[in-house]
Amino acid sequence: MRQNNFWFICLLVLLSFLVSETHARQKVVRILAVGNSFSQDAVEQNLHELADAEGIPTIIGNLFIGGCSLERHLRNARTNDSVYTYRKLGLDGKKIEKKNMTLEMTLADEEWDYVSLQQASPFSGMYETYLTSLPELVKYVRTHLPKKCQLMLHQTWAYAANATHTGFKNYNRDQLTMYYSIVDAVQKASKQTKIKIVIPSGTAIQNARTSFVGDHMNRDGHHLDLKIGRYTVACTWFEKIFKRNVVGNPYYLKDMDYDQREVAQKAAHEAVLHPECITELTELKQPATKVNYDEHKVPVYTLPDVLTLNNGRKVTTAKEWSKKRRPELLRLFETQVYGKTPDRPKDLHFRVLTEDKDALNGLATRKEVAVYLTKDEKHFMTVLIYLPNQRKGPVPMFFGINFKGNHAIHPDEGITFPSEERMVAYGRKQMFPRGSAASRWPVEMLMEHGYGLATFYRGDIDPDFDDAFQNGVHPLFYKKGQTRPAEDEWGTLAAWAWGMSCAMDYFETDTDIDSQCIAIFGHSRLGKATLWAGAIDPRFALVISNDSGCGGAALSRRKFGETVRAVNRQFTHWFCRNFWQYNDKEETLPVDQHELIALIAPRPVYIASAEEDRWADPKGEFLSGVYASPVYELFGLPGLPVEEMPAVNQPVLSGTVGYHIRSGKHDINMYDWTQYVKFADQHLKKDH
C-alpha cells in the first residue's frame, strides 16, 4: 500500500509539473469587467469557452452591482466600500463568488490584462452622464493596475422595442434612437478618456436583429436572452480582445441550432469590423433549411456518371480515363469547387532544423525540417517527422496536417514550441498546450508497426479564418493589383493541399523515407483538403479521409447534414468563390464527390465515418466509395467490394477502396488508426 501511495504522489507531482510547464508557456489572459447585470450577461458565460476552444487560457472576472452606474462606481471607489459581488472563472472554467468586495481589492486580485468599464443601461446613451464620473474613475482604476493593462469601454445594447424598462423613456422608447445614442456616447467617452478599446456589443446585438432572429435577443426586454443573446456578445468580446475571427469558432451552446450560431458569430464579427454602424445580415434574413438527419427526406437525385465524358461519350478503358475523363473532372473541381492552385515555388528549398536519433526513449528519430517557400526564407512551414529506429532502409510513412501545432501531437519536449513571431503570423496570442492533441496521433504505435509519421501545422500555410486571404500563402502569388484570389482560384482547403505537395518535394530528397509509399490522411476539414491533395498529386500512394463530410467524401446531392450552403456560409474561405453559386442548388453541380474519390484511382483510398457524426453524412461518404468503384474496375482492381453499408465497427478492408463506420463521435481515434495501419500494410508494405 505504501508503495502504491508513493507512486501516486509521484504521479501528482509529475502532473503538477506538466500543468505548470504548460501555463508557463501559455500566457494566461486575464480579463475583468467592472459593471452590472449587463457585464454579467457579457462575460460570465461563453467567453471562457470560446477562448478555450482556440487554446487560449483565460481568467475572467466580473465585479458588479445590479444597475450600477459609473457615478456609483466612482462613489464606491472614493469610499472603498465593500458592496460588490465578485465572480471569477478560473483556468478550469469553474466559477467562484465572493461577496462584500471593494473595487480596490478586485483590481489587486490578478495581474489583469484587460479591464472594462460601462455605464448603467438607462444612461448608456447619455454622454453627459459619462462626463461627470468616467474621467476620475478611469484615473483611479489606472493607478491600481499594472501599466500593461489595457482599459476598455463596453458599448452596451439597446432595449427590445417592446421593453418596459423605465430607462427606455430617456430615448423616447425607440430602439434605434437608443442604439445610436449609445454608439455616440461611448465614442465620445473613448476619445475623452483615451481608452482605445471599445467592445461593440450593442452593434453586435443590433446586427443580429436584422437577421431572421429579429427583435428576440432579450429575455425581459433589456437583459440578454440566455442563449443567442449572451452568446452573441461573448463572441464580440472574444474577437475584439483576441483579434481572431470568431466565425468558425467550434464552441457553441448545445441547444443552439446551426442558424443561430451563424447569426451570432457573424453579427459579432461585423460589429468588430464596423463598430459604429449596423450591418444588415442580408444572407440571414431567413433561416437555412433545417438540417436534415432523416434518410426519408433525402431528395431524389441523379449523380453525374463518372465514366461519361462531357460530350456524352462513354469511357471504356483505363487509358481513356487517364487521358480524357480524369483531366475533365480535375478542371471542373479546380474551377468550381476548390480553386486552381499555382505551381509550387521555384525557390522551394529545405533545411533540417533539428534531429534527435534517440527520441521517444530510443524508439524513433525525430526531425524538424523547414520547407522554405521563398528565397528570402521569410515564408516557410515546419514539418515534424518521426521515423522508427528499427528499420532497414527507407520506410513507408503516414503524413497529415495538424490542427493545433506540431508540439500538440505529442508531449515530447524536443518538439519546438512556436515562437512569438510565428504565433503572430498565425494570428494567435497563445498556442494550444504541448501534447493536447496526442490522442489523435499514435506516434509510438506507428513506429512499432514500421511506419514513419510526418505533419505540419495548418497555419504555416494558411491560418483557418477569413481575413480576405492576406494572412497565408495566397499573397505570394497575387498578380499586380490583385488583392484576393479570383473566383476560380484557391481557397484555404486547396492551399493546405498545395502545402502537402510542397512537403512531398522534401520527402523525395530524404533517403530515410520511401517517398513511393506515403499515405496521406486528414480528419474533418483537413480530410477535405487531403482528398483534394490526393486527387491533384499522384505521388501520394494512399489517401485516407476521416469524417470529411461535405466537400470531402460525402455526396453533395444528398443534402444530408452539412450542405454546400452550410459549409460556404460558415467557412467562407475554404472553397473557391465559384462554389457559392451552388448553395441550395447541389443538383446543378457539374461534379459530385464520388468523382473526387475516382480521381485518386488506381491508388488505394480509405473512407472512414463515425456513427454519431451525422453532420458528415456517413452514408453519403460510403456511397462515394461505391460510385467511384467503376473507375477502379477499369484498372482491373476491386473498388469498394460491398454495395450495402457495413455494420458499425465492421471495417471493409479487402478492396482498393476501404471503408468503416465506427461507434462514437466526430473524432479520429485508435480504432480508426488500427484500420488504417491494416489497410496500409496490404498496399504499402508489399516490397518492405
- pLDDT over 90 (residue 53): no
Q: Residue 486 in contact with residue 509, Cβ under 8 Å?
A: no
Domain end call among 241, 264, 284: 284
First-residue to last-residue Cα distance in the chain: 48
Question: In 324-429, where do the E strands start and end?
Answer: 349-358, 364-372, 380-388, 395-402
**Catalytic residue from among 144, 165, 349, 666:** 666
Pairing of strands 29-35, 114-117: parallel
Q: Is 292 contained in some domain?
A: no
What is the pTM (predicted TM-score) of this model? 0.74
pLDDT digits (tens, 9 = 90+) for 282-293: 878 877 767 899
Q: What is the CATH number of the domain that holds 420?
A: 3.40.50.1820
Q: Indicate whether 397 and 256 sit together in one domain.
A: no
pLDDT digits (tens, 9 = 90+) for 557-570: 999 999 999 899 88
Q: Give kind and range of the element (H or E) at residue 570.
A: helix 564-570
Q: Indicate whether 325 and 243 sit together in one domain.
A: no
Q: Indicate whether 607 and 552 sit together in one domain.
A: yes
pLDDT digits (tens, 9 = 90+) for 5-38: 555 454 444 444 444 444 334 589 999 999 999 9
For residue 515, indicate whether it is catalytic: no
Q: Indicate whether 279 and 322 sit together in one domain.
A: no
pLDDT digits (tens, 9 = 90+) for 148-187: 999 999 999 999 999 999 999 999 999 999 999 999 999 9
Q: Is 358 contained in some domain?
A: no
**pLDDT at site 16:** 47
**pLDDT at site 232:** 98
pLDDT digits (tens, 9 = 90+) for 495-518: 999 999 999 999 999 999 999 999
Q: Is 356 contained in some domain?
A: no
Q: Indicate whether 212 and 261 sit together in one domain.
A: yes
Q: Is 351 contained in some domain?
A: no
What value does the mean pLDDT take over residues 520-539? 98
The residue that leads in pLDDT, 217 or 1, is 217
Q: How many domains does the chain have?
A: 2
From CA 345, how far away is CA 584, in angstroms rounded?
A: 37
Q: Indicate whether 562 and 680 sit together in one domain.
A: yes
pLDDT digits (tens, 9 = 90+) for 353-379: 999 999 999 999 999 999 999 999 999
Q: Indicate whether 152 and 45 sit together in one domain.
A: yes
Q: Indicate whether 251 and 334 sit together in one domain.
A: no
Helix ranges (H only) for 635-669 are none
Q: Indicate whether 660 and 560 sit together in one domain.
A: yes
Q: Is 289 contained in some domain?
A: no
Q: Is 309 contained in some domain?
A: no
> Taking Cα atoms as reference points, which of 405, 346, 336, 337 lies closest to residue 372?
346
For residue 82, indicate whether it is catalytic: no
Parent domain of 607: 318-342+389-684
From CA 325, how far away is CA 310, in angstroms rounded?
A: 8
From CA 205, how far away is CA 154, in angstroms rounded?
A: 13
CA atoms within 13 A on the CB side of 178: 26
Total residues found in the chain within this entry: 688
**Catalytic residue from among 116, 121, 133, 524:** 524
Q: What is the CATH number of the domain that holds 247?
A: 3.40.50.1110
Domain end call among 259, 284, 309: 284
From CA 396, how far away is CA 68, in angstroms rounded?
A: 66
Sheet holding 380-388, edge to edge: 349-358, 364-372, 380-388, 452-457, 395-402, 513-523, 542-546, 605-610, 657-662
Q: Indicate whether 272 and 401 sit together in one domain.
A: no
Query: Is the Cα torsion angle 312, 317, 320, 323 positive or negative in sign?
Result: positive
DSSP conformational letter for 340: B
Q: Distance of CA 504 to CAs 178, 399, 557, Å?
A: 58, 9, 33
